Structure 1
Amino acid sequence: MASVCSENNDVSAIFFDLDNTLIQTRKCDTRTCNKFIEMLEQEYGLPKEMAVESAASFLRAFRARPDDDSFAFEEWPAHLWRNSLPKNYRHLAKTLSTEWLKYRYQNLTLSNDVIHLLESLREDYLLGLITNGPSRAQWYKIDRLGLRKYFDCVLVSGDLPWEKPDQHIFLEACKLLNVEPRTCIMVGDRLDTDIKGGKKAELGGTIWVPLQKEEQSSILPDFTIDKVTELPEVLSNSPKLKRCARTSTVC
């Protein structure tokens, strides 16, 4: 397999997307939702169809808007549960919100293989995390999973004037790491944000880790891999630049 390299420049930094790239957010949330269908039916007495519809309605709303700063952090999922449950079961919303956060983060973890990947790559490359999403929700996730220690720079779009695919969020990461865009690569699951944005910023390479291989788009990544742990296969022929000694930066 060919390796990622741009105009004879070695790769100096690797930028990663978070959700559905390093952690399987969608799969984990679906698994948690299925747990809640059982809970609603068996523990709280909702009829099967009602339990399925309530849990599915909550998950749709949560995926569309995982946080709202006008609510306390724990109150937002409770609000979504109140809107998703039948009227005579809405008193369960606060309990379900607490349980949702508990079970979600039992499922939402970094795998040992991904931890090994990040630790190994960080010996030879600068690593950046660039994630779209509400600031509070994404930082809660980042801190709950202990991600800061793996990265030299962390950018959350909710803190900034831009989000992927705006090229400026990628260029900001390059600036913070003091690297040229042409020596950086972007790894992510979305063509319309991660890959498109990496190309707009004229990064040295883009690597797609698709959720759905059949996805059709005019946006073409430089490489496609089945899972993020296959990344070394497209780096293996590129001479590595040893990381400069510097203090880790979290922005």
Structure 2
Amino acid sequence: MIKHIFFDLDHTIWDFDKNAQETLHELYLHYKLEELGLASAEAFISTYTENNHSLWADYHVGKITKETLRAERFSRTFIQLGIHPEKIPQQFEDDYVRITPHKKNLFLGSEKVLGYLKQKYTLHIISNGFKESTLIKMEVSGLNPYFTNVIISEDVGVNKPDKAIFEYALDKAKARKEECIMIGDSIEADIRGAQGFGMKAIYFNPQSKEFPDDVKWQITHLEELLDHF
């Protein structure tokens, strides 16, 4: 019955953490953060990643705005690591947002799986990512040819898990719920969002994290989709 497959982008196809780490290593050197007192790039990246994931979780459900997320993720990280607010590099966030979307690391098997699925199904993206960054990622990583629609929450005015973004996506796809399935890494945004709307969903869980019992379908590698579709 499935005719349309909706994918999340960040952390599902586009390897957000790997691309972010590359950028942060470059910026650590560029801004000479060791001289500010940050002796370890790895500790900086680890602290940032934890803060960023927490803030994105709040952003998904509307607790904070895009502006708050961008303002806090690095300031919070620098302060936690003992850097006085006046010494935080003011252009750091802007440079990060400018550089990171041009990174091209995808999850292993992405192009193979998308190439296979595109022959049998109509593929779409539903992303809570920032619009300008999402469009760059899609173009630079060569993902546009695989997807018929790229639905971005900023265009819709609501984020996953809000039912309205799934309604909007199905309207754009001219599809019915029973013909659709959502694949993503976020239990709250992707899986709960799709299920709450009445769509099937597959949890992409590359780190094999524990997950709720009512999440019935999970994969740890994208190539597992080849066995199911």
TM-score by length of 2: 0.73
> Structure 1's 38 and 116: CA in aligned 2 closer, same or farther, altered over 3 A?
same
Secondary structure of 1:139's partner? helix
Q: Give matches, 1:161-176, under 5 Å.
A: 161-176=157-172
In our comparison, the structure showing a higher alpha carbon Rg is: 1
Gaps in structure 1 of 5+ consecutive residues: 1-9, 71-75, 236-251
> Structure 1's 38 and 232: CA in aligned 2 closer, same or farther, altered over 3 A?
same
Matches of 2:203 and 2:31, distance apart in 1 = 37
Match of 2:228 among 230, 234, 239: 234
Contact preservation (8 Å) 2:15, 2:107: no
Could you say which residue in structure 2 is the equivalent of 1:73? none
Q: Give matches, 1:32-71, under 5 Å.
A: 32-37=23-28, 40-41=31-32, 45-49=35-39, 64=55
Q: Does 1:189 align with 2:185?
A: yes
Matches of 1:147 and 1:234, distance apart in 2 = 22
More helix by share: 2
Matches of 2:136 and 2:130, distance apart in 1 = 10
One-letter amino acid of the counterpart of residue 201, structure 2: T
Contact preservation (8 Å) 1:209, 1:227: yes
Gaps in structure 2 of 5+ consecutive residues: 60-64
Q: Does 1:13 align with 2:9?
A: no
Q: Does 1:30 align with 2:24?
A: no
TM-score by length of 1: 0.67
Secondary structure of 2:201's partner? strand
Q: Give matches, 1:75-224, under 5 Å.
A: 80=74, 84=78, 86=84, 90=88, 93-94=90-91, 97-98=94-95, 101-102=98-99, 104-105=100-101, 107-110=103-106, 113-203=109-199, 205-217=200-212, 219-221=214-216, 223-224=217-218
Deviation at 1:17, TM superposition (A): 0.7
> Structure 1's 173 and 52: CA in aligned 2 closer, same or farther, altered over 3 A?
closer
User: Aligned-pair RMSD on alpha carbons?
Assistant: 3.6
Q: How many residues are matched?
A: 215
Could you report, residue by residue, the CA deviation over 1:155-176 in whole angstroms, capped at 9, with x for unpaired residues? Answer: 1111113321222322322222
Matches of 1:125 and 1:51, distance apart in 2 = 42
Could you report, residue by residue, the CA deviation over 1:192-221 in whole angstroms, capped at 9, with x for unpaired residues? Answer: 111112212222x32111144233435413
> Structure 1's 171 and 213: CA in aligned 2 closer, same or farther, altered over 3 A?
same
Contact preservation (8 Å) 2:17, 2:49: no
